[in-house]
């Protein structure tokens, strides 16, 4: 308990639940919704103080690094059908490389490697099934191309001619993967290749920018694309469907006449949202930058288009026939000798077979892994466990032995704390618990308001009236913090909190010592009728928590973690809407331990 004089001064200034001055991190989008009077009427959680959603923009220039490029558009082979596990946050890496090393940047990482007309590794070509991803992604200037090669009726690009514009942008374009500024996409009526309009793209910088179609659904298959470009600059292609594919090589344009460019790719599976990417850089004003028109992509007919396979099969284009898909079976001959092919066309254990001791029981509790057969014997023979563990015969695994522990959850009753150094359950007042008087066994008389004496738990009821460093001050009236003996979790006493109204008022420990930067695992027991929650303050608010309703005479266990950069913490408990039918709310056995370094 802090000094009596300090508590008196605090209460003269604060009153029963006065608002203490709080730093910005207790009010700005943090705990103010639940920690201050007049706000917590609904017992709903306030916004999280320290956690934020990581909304990652696909290509963030601030993240442009050479190292990131290896992750960004990483695609040595185009093997995942438009959902390449490459860069969801940035092909941005390549942006920085482009800015620093010009075109040499495209060879820095394994993904954006300009090695001619194809992505690295996509060299085998050939007639393949839909699931075969060996077809190259290519993008090349082709002066012999004909704009009638892909009939408009087969075109999967809905607005490839840029004839429709709305709000300054072409309809059907500027998808979510675009990062070219919207004012750098300009309606062009000067000399279209098809119709009366084209699209002017402006990016004079050496860092590439993306201009994409609006997302649309795309069926699996091989696709061939053509488009026409004039002006000055460099252009290449890729795809985005939640992740980026590899990029094709750049085509350099420096002419006022229209030049055809072709691009081919393979989609190994249907995708719900697909965007075709046009990556541009180094556009030149002397020829009006780059002008794009007449974009067409069509799926190539394949032998398997006329073949219908079972759900457990895939079609091979080379033979136009169905074969068993990976991970499935069509008869026992496609499974191991100790397996059977189930009705779901998956290989499963044959009767009496095993892959671990957990598959065996009764008179044959041991799995002979060589024969995959259950045999007689001792399942725990040869199993080596730590001294605080014991072997469980049912699966020959090491489990925590009675009275020992690996975490707080393993300890209860009179020994609610886990000493991780010895893996032994110990009492709440043991040194391993950094919360002083966590079992509420020590109480004392404290004089507040000059003449009023209150029985309060030692090291609790922390009050910070202009203190430095700041920590949240207790708000609940001292008369509503009561020693409780009718039902305890451990020891002789628990702590009763009485607050039949809302908002909830804070009940705070005094600061206690912790190791900076270390994460502590905490738990406490609660029972009664009302709503409650807890937080930690270690030089700043820990993660916010929501209120939990309780209506039970049984002790409930609540767990949380705390950490901070300072050498002290306080715990903050809130109780509200408490009801006398179960003696309001009671707390007991508050424990925080640190994992062994």
340-384 residue pLDDT tens: 999 999 999 999 899 999 999 999 999 999 999 999 999 999 899
Distance separating alpha carbons of residues 292 and 559, to the nearest angstrom: 59
**Calculated CA dihedral for residues 380, 385, 388, 393, nearest 10 degrees:** -20
For residues 442 and 503, state if they share a domain: yes
Length of the chain: 597
Name the one residue in this structure whose structure tokens are 């699209």: 199
Inform me whether the pLDDT recorded for 235 exceeds 80: yes
pLDDT for the residue numbered 149? 66
Q: Tell me whether residue 118 is in a domain.
A: no
pLDDT for the residue numbered 140? 53
DSSP β-bridge partners for residue 494: 484
For residues 210 and 277, state if they share a domain: yes
Three-state SS for 229?
Answer: strand
Distance separating alpha carbons of residues 414 and 432, to the nearest angstrom: 15
Instruction: Give the C-alpha distances (Å, rounded to integers) separating 87 from 75, 444, 576.
Output: 10, 61, 47
Strand-pair category, 424-426 with 417-419: antiparallel
pLDDT for the residue numbered 268? 85
The DSSP secondary-structure symbol of 377 reads: S
Inform me whether the pLDDT recorded for 143 exceeds 80: no
Q: Do 524 and 554 meet the contact criterion of CB atoms below 8 Å apart?
A: no
**What is the torsional sign of CA 350, 354, 355, 361?**
positive
pLDDT for the residue numbered 465? 80
Inform me whether the pLDDT recorded for 283 exceeds 70: yes
For residues 334 and 445, state if they share a domain: no
Out of 400, 419, 444, a domain closes at 400
**Calculated CA dihedral for residues 155, 158, 164, 169, nearest 10 degrees:** -120
Q: Tell me whether residue 312 is in a domain.
A: no
pLDDT band at 120 (very low <50, low <70, confident <90, very high): very low
pLDDT band at 139 (very low <50, low <70, confident <90, very high): low
pLDDT band at 449 (very low <50, low <70, confident <90, very high): low
Give the tens place of pLDDT for each residue, 389-437: 999 999 999 999 998 999 999 998 889 999 988 999 999 999 999 999 9
For residues 584 and 493, state if they share a domain: yes
Nearest to 195 by CA among 172, 225, 163: 163
How far does CA 404 lie from the centroid of its chain?
Answer: 34
Distance separating alpha carbons of residues 62 and 90, to the nearest angstrom: 10
Out of 303, 335, 350, a domain closes at 303
Question: Could you tell me which residues come within 8 angstroms of residue 466 by beta carbon, excluding any fewer than 6 positions away?
Answer: 21
Number of domains within the chain:
3
Question: Could you tell me which residues come within 8 angstroms of residue 8 by beta carbon, excluding any fewer than 6 positions away?
Answer: 447, 448, 449, 450
Burial class of 52 by CB neighbour count within 10 A (0 to 12, 13 to 18, 19+): exposed
pLDDT band at 119 (very low <50, low <70, confident <90, very high): very low
Three-state SS for 360?
Answer: coil
Distance separating alpha carbons of residues 139 and 578, to the nearest angstrom: 69
Instruction: Give the C-alpha distances (Å, rounded to integers) separating 103 from 234, 292, 512, 533.
Output: 10, 22, 58, 57
Nearest to 232 by CA among 187, 191, 291, 293: 291
DSSP β-bridge partners for residue 229: 259, 292
Out of 357, 383, 400, a domain closes at 400
Distance separating alpha carbons of residues 388 and 405, to the nearest angstrom: 7
Distance separating alpha carbons of residues 367 and 354, to the nearest angstrom: 6
Query: How many other C-beta atoms lie within 10 A of the C-beta of residue 104?
Result: 11
pLDDT for the residue numbered 575? 95
Q: Do 448 and 7 meet the contact criterion of CB atoms below 8 Å apart?
A: yes
Query: How many other C-beta atoms lie within 10 A of the C-beta of residue 469?
Result: 10
Name the one residue in this structure whose structure tokens are 């704390």: 417
115-138 as b/e: b if 16+ CB within 10 A: eebbbbbbeeeeebbbbbbebbbb
pLDDT for the residue numbered 137? 57
Give the tens place of pLDDT for each residue, 501-510: 888 899 999 9
For residues 261 and 151, state if they share a domain: yes
The answer to whether the bond into 469 is cis (omega within 30° of 0) is yes
For residues 151 and 20, state if they share a domain: no
For residues 347 and 451, state if they share a domain: no
CATH of the domain at 212: 2.60.120.260
Nearest to 170 by CA among 181, 179, 178, 159: 159
pLDDT for the residue numbered 596? 65
pLDDT band at 49 (very low <50, low <70, confident <90, very high): very low
Inform me whether the pLDDT recorded for 8 exceeds 70: no
Inform me whether the pLDDT recorded for 587 exceeds 60: yes
Q: Please give the structure tokens belonging to residue 232.
A: 């000055």
Q: Do 56 and 89 meet the contact criterion of CB atoms below 8 Å apart?
A: yes
For residues 462 and 587, state if they share a domain: yes
- From 111-125, 467-481, 553-567, the region with the lowest mean pLDDT: 111-125
For residues 276 and 217, state if they share a domain: yes
pLDDT band at 584 (very low <50, low <70, confident <90, very high): very high
Distance separating alpha carbons of residues 66 and 97, to the nearest angstrom: 6
Q: Tell me whether residue 115 is in a domain.
A: no
For residues 257 and 332, state if they share a domain: no
Give the tens place of pLDDT for each residue, 197-211: 999 999 999 999 999
Distance separating alpha carbons of residues 69 and 97, to the nearest angstrom: 8
Q: Do 568 and 78 meet the contact criterion of CB atoms below 8 Å apart?
A: no
Q: Tell me whether residue 96 is in a domain.
A: no
The mean predicted confidence, pLDDT, of the chain is: 80
Q: Tell me whether residue 577 is in a domain.
A: yes
Q: Tell me whether residue 251 is in a domain.
A: yes
Side-chain half-sphere exposure of 176, counting CA atoms within 13 A: 14
How far does CA 321 lie from the centroid of its chain?
Answer: 41
Distance separating alpha carbons of residues 94 and 106, to the nearest angstrom: 7
For residues 264 and 339, state if they share a domain: no
Q: What are phi and psi of 241, to 5 degrees?
A: -145, 60
Predicted TM-score (pTM) of the model is: 0.48
Q: Tell me whether residue 407 is in a domain.
A: no
Q: Tell me whether residue 86 is in a domain.
A: no
Give the structural domain span for 576: 4-26+33-49+428-593
Inform me whether the pLDDT recorded for 323 exceeds 90: yes
Q: Do 95 and 61 meet the contact criterion of CB atoms below 8 Å apart?
A: yes
Percent of the chain with pLDDT over 90: 65
For residues 268 and 395, state if they share a domain: no
Instruction: Give the C-alpha distances (Å, rounded to integers) separating 301 from 133, 273, 317, 318, 350.
Output: 16, 22, 11, 13, 43
169-199 as b/e: b if 16+ CB within 10 A: bbebbbbebbbbeeebbbebeeebbbeebbb
């Amino acid at each position: 308990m802090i000094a009596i004089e300090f508590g008196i001064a605090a209460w003269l200034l604060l009153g029963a639940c006065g608002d203490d001055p709080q730093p910005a991190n207790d009010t700005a989008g943090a705990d103010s919704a639940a920690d201050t009077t007049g706000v917590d009427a609904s017992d709903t959680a306030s916004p999280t103080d320290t956690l934020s959603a990581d909304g990652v923009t696909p290509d963030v220039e601030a993240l442009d690094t050479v190292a990131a490029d290896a992750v960004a558009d990483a695609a040595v082979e185009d093997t995942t059908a438009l959902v390449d596990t490459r860069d969801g946050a940035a092909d941005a890496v390549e942006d920085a490389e482009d800015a620093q090393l010009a075109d040499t940047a495209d060879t820095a990482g394994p993904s954006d490697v300009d090695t001619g007309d194809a992505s690295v590794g996509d060299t085998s070509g050939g007639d393949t099934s839909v699931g075969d991803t060996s077809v190259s992604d290519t993008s090349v200037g082709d002066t012999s191309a004909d704009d009638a090669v892909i009939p408009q009726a087969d075109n999967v690009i809905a607005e490839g001619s840029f004839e429709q514009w709305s709000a300054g942008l072409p309809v059907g374009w500027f998808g979510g993967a675009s990062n070219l500024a919207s004012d750098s996409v300009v309606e062009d009526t000067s000399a279209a290749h098809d119709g009366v309009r084209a699209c002017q793209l402006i990016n004079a910088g050496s860092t590439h920018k993306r201009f994409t179609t609006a997302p649309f659904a795309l069926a699996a298959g091989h696709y061939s694309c053509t488009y026409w470009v004039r002006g000055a600059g460099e252009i290449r292609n890729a795809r985005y469907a939640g992740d980026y594919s590899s990029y094709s090589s750049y085509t350099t344009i420096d002419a006022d006449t229209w030049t055809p460019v072709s691009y081919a790719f393979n989609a190994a599976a249907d995708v719900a949202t697909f965007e075709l990417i046009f990556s541009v850089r180094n556009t030149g004003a002397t020829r009006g930058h780059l002008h794009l028109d007449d974009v067409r992509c069509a799926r190539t007919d394949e032998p398997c288009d006329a073949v219908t396979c079972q759900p457990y099969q895939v079609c091979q284009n080379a033979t136009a026939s169905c074969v068993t898909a990976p991970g499935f079976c069509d008869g026992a001959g496609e499974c191991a000798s100790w397996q059977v092919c189930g009705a779901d066309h998956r290989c499963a254990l044959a009767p009496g077979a095993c892959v671990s001791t957990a598959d065996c029981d009764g008179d044959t509790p041991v799995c002979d892994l060589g024969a995959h057969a259950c045999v007689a014997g001792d399942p725990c023979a040869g199993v080596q466990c730590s001294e605080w563990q014991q072997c469980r015969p049912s699966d020959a695994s090491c489990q925590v032995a009675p009275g020992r522990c690996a975490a707080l959850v393993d300890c209860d009753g009179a020994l609610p704390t886990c000493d991780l150094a010895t893996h032994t359950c110990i009492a709440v007042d043991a040194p391993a618990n950094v919360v002083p008087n966590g079992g509420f066994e020590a109480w004392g008389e404290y004089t507040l308001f000059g003449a009023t004496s209150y029985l309060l738990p030692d090291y609790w009821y922390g009050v910070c009236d202009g203190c430095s460093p700041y920590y949240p001050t207790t708000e609940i009236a001292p008369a509503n913090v009561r020693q409780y003996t009718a039902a305890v979790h451990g020891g002789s006493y628990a702590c009763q909190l009485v607050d039949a109204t809302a908002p909830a008022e804070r009940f705070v420990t005094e600061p206690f010592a912790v190791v900076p930067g270390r994460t502590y695992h905490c738990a406490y027991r609660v029972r009664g009728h009302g709503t409650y929650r807890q937080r930690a303050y270690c030089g700043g608010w820990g993660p916010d928590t929501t209120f939990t309703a309780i209506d039970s005479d049984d002790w409930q266990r609540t767990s949380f973690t705390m950490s901070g950069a300072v050498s002290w913490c306080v715990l903050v408990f809130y109780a509200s809407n408490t009801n006398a039918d179960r003696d309001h709310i009671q707390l007991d056995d508050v424990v925080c331990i640190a994992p062994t370094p």
